[in-house]
């Protein structure tokens, strides 16, 4: 758990901290209190470390807390849609758009421990399909550039 303890900050500093916390896959429990399971190894950069105090905490029902913090059904539905979009991307433009959407969506994957994810979590499937797609898409781009 990270608790923002910095004194009054500019809007730019607050926005920067919010972006950093999301990139570290933390979720905001309430304003100034960010949390996530302790399954990712990381060191927080100076801007985050300087503005927050960090605690190890426990919650009686982890699954309930995860459901409150992350909209896993919506993330999974979008991941399934993107898997389909990758399959249907038959033009360079469609491929570019699908690639951008997949990368943006993967940045929002909470990377939760498997015991806190639904059994049919599509995160790995989306990454694998994207990796396969990008190989053939790179070839198509190369071919297009050579023609």
- Taking only the tens place, the pLDDT of each residue in 49-74 is 999 999 999 999 999 999 999 999 99
Return the number of other C-beta atoms located less than 10 Å from residue 18's C-beta. 14
Domain ranges of the chain: 2-68, 71-146
Residue 94 has pLDDT above 90, yes or no: yes
Q: Which fold has domain 71-146?
A: Methane Monooxygenase Hydroxylase; Chain G, domain 1 (1.20.58)
Find, among 134, 133, 108, the residue nearest to 123 by Cα: 108
pLDDT-based confidence at residue 37 (cuts at 50, 70, 90): very high
User: Tokens 């070839």, residue?
Assistant: 139
- Enumerate residues 6+ apart whose C-beta is below 8 A from 123: 79, 109, 111, 117
What is the reported pLDDT for 147?
Answer: 75
Q: Which CATH class is domain 2-68?
A: alpha beta
Residue 146 has pLDDT above 90, yes or no: no
Beta strand pairing status for 33-35 and 52-54?
unpaired
Helix (H) or strand (E) holding 75: helix 72-88
Model-level pTM?
0.86
């Amino acid at each position: 758990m990270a608790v923002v303890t910095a004194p009054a900050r500019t809007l730019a500093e607050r926005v920067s901290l919010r972006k950093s916390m999301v990139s570290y896959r933390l979720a905001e429990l309430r304003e100034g209190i960010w949390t996530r399971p302790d399954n990712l190894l990381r060191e927080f950069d100076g801007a985050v470390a300087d503005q927050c105090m960090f605690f190890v905490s426990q919650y009686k029902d982890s699954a309930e807390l995860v459901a409150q913090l992350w909209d896993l059904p919506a993330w999974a539905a979008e991941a399934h849609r993107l898997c389909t979009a990758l399959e249907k991307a038959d033009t360079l433009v469609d491929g570019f758009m699908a690639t951008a959407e997949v990368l943006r969506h993967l940045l929002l994957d909470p990377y939760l421990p498997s015991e806190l994810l639904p059994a049919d979590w599509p995160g790995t499937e989306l990454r694998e399909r994207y990796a396969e797609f990008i190989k053939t898409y790179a070839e198509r781009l190369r071919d297009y550039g050579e023609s």
